[in-house]
């Protein structure tokens, strides 16, 4: 059984009419999954403050709470990182989804998990909301996983077209978490050079604009997947952005649906090797509605 965790609060986060990070992203993903067998749909609980506090200081959480408007829109840090009434509820559902998914998995109630939530999280640093992101869900998930006795080492696999600067910043001094990211370079947020290695636990796989299936698979096959294999993680978390798809308007990488099936199958193989199959994925970016539907369907077909 594959669990799809989502919540309608994720639709209420309003970013205005011009932002590509909009509620239709989630409905497109869920629409793409229609008709698939072997799925159970579960509502995301809100993350508790102590779960968020393992990554984001309480003062930062309080500051975001003060910034959230009762009406209208407010930009935070960057012009396109927008809060409305309901933003923090959506954010808490995202972090809550991954924590809940991890609990379900470790309790043996599901085989793997895909959290279909927004806004995304991988650009959020400890005390910086940016790049459409407020709390770093995958980082909160990694820290939550480590509260379980069975989990010491967490591998985070990030195939979003943008570098997961926030995830890197949060874990760059912590060898209990391996972060491997493929991303277009140059592109927002500007970090993610191969030379950025943290405590030996950060592996960046930058891809040139125009790169496609071959370059993506070569980078993962020669560097990314072997690194995760040698790390022997107890769980694999996926920052699943679908904006490296050829249709996506924000990136210039040319992946196709079948590449998302491939990377998912590779991750599942690695999870079988050392992590008893434990794998939890969460939606990050992806801004073409048709590509979101078809690429996330390929991702979930592999999970099933």
Residues that bind Zn ion (CB under 5 A): 160, 162, 241, 243, 285
Q: Which is nearer to Zn ion, 137 or 162 (CB)?
A: 162
Q: Is 123 a catalytic residue?
A: yes
Q: Which is nearer to Zn ion, 23 or 36 (CB)?
A: 23
Q: Which is nearer to Zn ion, 101 or 241 (CB)?
A: 241
DSSP for 214-283, please give it: HHHHHHIIIIIHHHHHHH--SEEEEEE--TTBTT-SS---BB-HHHHHHHHHHHHHHHHHHSTT-EEEEE
37 phi, psi to nearest 5 deg: -95, 155
Contact 192, 204 (CB under 8 A): yes
* Environment class of 20 (CB within 10 Å of its CB; exposed 0-12, middle 13-18, buried 19+): middle
Per-residue tokens: 288:
């073409």
CB of 161 to Zn ion, least distance (A): 5
- Among 56, 122, 123, 137, the active-site one is 123
Element (H, E) at 192: none
Q: Which is nearer to Zn ion, 220 or 287 (CB)?
A: 287
CB of 123 to Zn ion, least distance (A): 8
Per-residue tokens: 155:
């591998």
Which residue is nearest to Zn ion, using beta carbons? 285
CB of 49 to Zn ion, least distance (A): 27
Which single residue is written with the structure tokens 């806004």?
119
Dist. CA 97–CA 184, nearest whole Å: 28
CB of 256 to Zn ion, least distance (A): 17
CB of 84 to Zn ion, least distance (A): 21
Q: Which is nearer to Zn ion, 234 or 257 (CB)?
A: 257
Q: Which is nearer to Zn ion, 160 or 256 (CB)?
A: 160
Long-range pairs of 211-216 with CB within 8 A, sequence gap ≥ 24: 211/184, 211/253, 211/254, 212/246, 212/253, 212/254, 212/255, 213/254, 213/255, 213/256, 213/258, 213/259, 216/159, 216/182, 216/244, 216/253, 216/255, 216/259, 216/263
Question: Which residues are tagged catalytic?
Answer: 123
């Amino acid at each position: 059984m594959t669990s799809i965790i989502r919540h309608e609060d994720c639709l209420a986060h309003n970013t205005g009419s011009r932002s590509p990070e909009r509620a239709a992203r989630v409905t497109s993903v869920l629409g793409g999954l229609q008709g698939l067998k072997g799925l159970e749909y579960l509502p995301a609980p809100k993350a508790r403050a102590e779960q968020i506090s393992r990554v984001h200081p309480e003062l930062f959480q309080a500051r975001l709470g003060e910034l959230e408007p009762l009406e209208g829109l407010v930009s935070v840090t960057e012009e396109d990182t927008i809060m409305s009434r309901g933003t923090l509820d959506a954010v808490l559902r995202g972090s809550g989804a991954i924590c809940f998914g991890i609990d379900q998995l470790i309790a043996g109630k599901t085989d793997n998990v895909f959290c279909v939530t927004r806004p995304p999280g991988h650009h959020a640093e400890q005390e910086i909301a940016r790049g459409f992101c407020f709390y770093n869900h995958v980082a909160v998930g990694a820290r939550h996983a480590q509260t379980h006795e069975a989990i010491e080492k967490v591998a985070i696999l990030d195939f979003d077209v943008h570098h997961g600067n926030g995830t890197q910043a949060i874990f760059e001094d912590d060898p209990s978490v391996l972060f491997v990211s493929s991303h277009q370079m140059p592109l927002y947020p500007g970090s993610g050079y191969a030379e950025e290695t943290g405590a030996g636990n950060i592996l960046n796989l930058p891809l040139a604009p125009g790169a496609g299936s071959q370059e993506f698979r070569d980078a993962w096959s020669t560097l990314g997947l072997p690194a995760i294999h040698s790390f022997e993680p107890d769980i694999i978390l996926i920052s699943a952005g679908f904006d490296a798809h050829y249709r996506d308007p924000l990136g210039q990488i040319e992946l196709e649906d079948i590449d998302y099936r491939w990377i998912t199958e590779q991750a599942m193989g690695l999870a079988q090797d050392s992590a008893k199959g434990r794998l939890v994925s969460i939606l990050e970016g992806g801004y073409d509605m048709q590509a979101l539907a078809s690429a996330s369907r390929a991702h979930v077909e592999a999970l099933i």
